[in-house]
Structure 1
Amino acid sequence: MGSQILQPRGEAPFDLYPYTPAAAPGWAFLVLFAIAGVTHFVMMIPLRSWYFVPFILGCAGEAGGYYGRAWSHENIRNGSPYLIQLMLILASAPLLSATIYMTLGRFIRGLEAEDKAVIRPSWTTKIYVIIDIGSFVCQMAGSAMQSSGDAAGAKLGNNIVIGGLAFQLAAFVGFVTMTMVVHVRLNRDPTVISRRPQIKWRRNMYNLYAVSLMVFVRSAFRLVEFTEGPDGTIHKREIFLYVFDAALMFGVTVAMAALHPGFLLRTIRKDKSNALVSDGNDSYLLQGQSFKQID
């Protein structure tokens, strides 16, 4: 009976990385994304920004992904941490994006700028969240197929991931275009709410552009990486992942905390609730762009 080489359970018979992942940056970004997730969770409650739940899950996913990379430092043939980091780092960006998409609709409704939008805010949120779910599923499924060990399955999985990333990029172009249209129309024809000096909505719009750009660059980077394949320069240099993915996604979490949409929306709510003025013996309540008399 001939001898047989057995691989330990969970280990591949080949190197899963073209390098040994560095442990230090993996642990560092685990801590950074964990702090970001806790920060956004704490802010979500008083600001009543429940739509940040996907964002917080995205932070948790990023932290888990970089834990996988730190774990992979011990054995570059261990399939478990490789699969964890591949799936979670790829799939966390759509979760962060989902909250960015939902933010625009809330700004439009808060500023009473529904007539400035390309499509109804409720439809904007639904359409882009559906797109994001599709991108999420593609990247999760494609990542799982890549780690199957089957050459044909891995190639198909890579193509599915590429499709999900391309879809995400196209969605962001459309999203930024819609944001710019609302911004320009509000500047030309401001609503009563947007005219008020305490409603500093423009800086929040610029913040949406900034985080959208970061997600776009990250997605473009990953698209090029998967298009090049395992023999590409990007795949062989770990530094690119940390510069064009980890740092950019962490930048998104910082920007969304520093200029949290909840602050603007809370100011708008307070302004509307206090928008009572007196005119002789009559009281009026500000609604939209007109004054409605109340008893």
Structure 2
Amino acid sequence: MSRLDQNLTFAGKPTTFNITTWNDPSLCTLDTCPENYSAILYVPNLGGNAFFLAWFAILLVAQTVIGIQKRTWTFFSAMIGGCILEVIGYSARILLHDNVFVFNNWLMYLICLTIAPCFFSAAIYLTFTRFIILHGVQYARLKPRTYTIIFITWDIISLALQAAGGGLADTASDGGSGQTGINIMIAGLSSQVASLIIFMTLVLDFAYRVYHAEGRACVAKTYEGMQRLGRGVGWWSALVASLIMATVLIFIRSCYRVAELRGGFGGKLANDEVKFMVLEGAMVALAALFLTVVHPAIVFRGTWKRRDAETVFAKTADRAEVSQTIELNGEKGAV
């Protein structure tokens, strides 16, 4: 084997490139190949990626235990899917730490971490329908089930575009096909951003319509509902806050990934690990934490199924209306 007499560097280290590694990049090491042969232009930090791997592994166990105990199968499926993909994605980044030239590991990390938040978004959509049932279907623009169908279908389309784009970008034999794959991934991520914007708009619209129609009575209805479930209203407030935070965090992360991919895989943003760890890792990790610590099953207890929630909260609505009537008549007392 003849060696190429070139002074090449990667990550600040000199390299010696040879014909064998030219034909098979998976045999490359930092000492034998130039940086343009690597999957990414930096060596992933072992400690940071191991931290996020452990983080999502713990949340995976917690979601499994709570989901099975409380039988919240739809929410459970969404959260488990997201956590598993995060674990696989960060495992792949740890493998990239050992060898940045193995493209299969890069592809595994890219696709898994790109599509995982779609599953967390689905969990948020499912939980929002319970808010509609409690406060009143008449205040929503759509039926609870319709919200779920529309936004989860939208998520599936976004997910498919991101996965297909990632696969095309990696297997492309020329620059044009590679850019097409990137563009498809950007379309998928942009679709996810659009769905989150529309979802947040509909949530704000629902909250406004409830408050405009009921005023302080909506607080009484919430209190009544939590009493029926054996929970204080503080649990409801915590759930609302956690869903808001999780939605905003996933939205910030999705905007970052769109900007990252617009610059291409070789762009500055795509190869800035600090920004990746903050705007991808931390955003999604905190969103998943909020959806675990304030788990809807803990708040709704045995009424996660839509029919059970409708039964309990329908009674709550009737009692709240009576309480509101008594208050308007200037009468005191409890119903």
Residue in structure 2 matched with residue 171 of structure 1 by the alignment: 195
Residue in structure 2 matched with residue 289 of structure 1 by the alignment: 318
- In the superposition, relative to structure 1, how do residues 272 and 220 fare at CA in structure 2: closer, same or farther (>3 Å)? closer
CA contact (8 A) 2:50 2:90 kept: yes
Cα displacement (A) at 1:154: 1.1
Q: How does 1:24-63 map to 2 (within 5 A)?
A: 24-52=47-75, 53-63=77-87
CA RMSD for the aligned pairs? 2.9
Cα displacement (A) at 1:193: 4.0
- In the superposition, relative to structure 1, how do residues 175 and 274 fare at CA in structure 2: closer, same or farther (>3 Å)? closer
Residue in structure 1 matched with residue 105 of structure 2 by the alignment: 81
Normalising by structure 1, we get a TM-score of 0.85
Normalising by structure 2, we get a TM-score of 0.76
- In the superposition, relative to structure 1, how do residues 286 and 102 fare at CA in structure 2: closer, same or farther (>3 Å)? closer
Q: How does 1:177-196 map to 2 (within 5 A)?
A: 177-188=201-212, 189=214, 190=217, 193-196=221-224
Residue in structure 2 matched with residue 141 of structure 1 by the alignment: 164
Cα displacement (A) at 1:116: 1.3
Provide Cα deviations, 1:193-240, integer angstroms capped at 9, x if missing partner.
Answer: 424264633442232211110000000000000112234331121111
Distance in 2 (alpha carbons) for counterparts of 1:126 and 1:23: 40
Residue in structure 2 matched with residue 250 of structure 1 by the alignment: 285
User: Which among 167, 171, 186 is matched to residue 162 of structure 1?
Assistant: 186
Distance in 2 (alpha carbons) for counterparts of 1:238 and 1:81: 16
User: Which among 151, 167, 171 is matched to residue 128 of structure 1?
Assistant: 151
Q: Structure 1 residues 7-16 or 51-60, which shifts more?
A: 7-16
CA radius of gyration, larger in: 2
Distance in 2 (alpha carbons) for counterparts of 1:137 and 1:268: 32
Q: Secondary structure at the match of 1:91?
A: helix
Distance in 2 (alpha carbons) for counterparts of 1:230 and 1:97: 25
Cα displacement (A) at 1:7: 3.0
Distance in 2 (alpha carbons) for counterparts of 1:131 and 1:91: 13
Provide Cα deviations, 1:29-60, integer angstroms capped at 9, x if missing partner.
Answer: 11110111111111112333212212111111
Q: Secondary structure at the match of 1:147?
A: helix
Provide Cα deviations, 1:143-196, integer angstroms capped at 9, x if missing partner.
Answer: 111111422221011001111111111110111111122223333414674242
Provide Cα deviations, 1:117-158, integer angstroms capped at 9, x if missing partner.
Answer: 121111000000000000110111111111114222210110
Residue in structure 2 matched with residue 217 of structure 1 by the alignment: 252
Distance in 1 (alpha carbons) for counterparts of 2:255 and 2:66: 30
User: Which among 230, 244, 263 is matched to residue 298 of structure 2?
Assistant: 263
Distance in 2 (alpha carbons) for counterparts of 1:152 and 1:100: 37
Larger proportion of helix: 2
Distance in 1 (alpha carbons) for counterparts of 2:159 and 2:265: 22
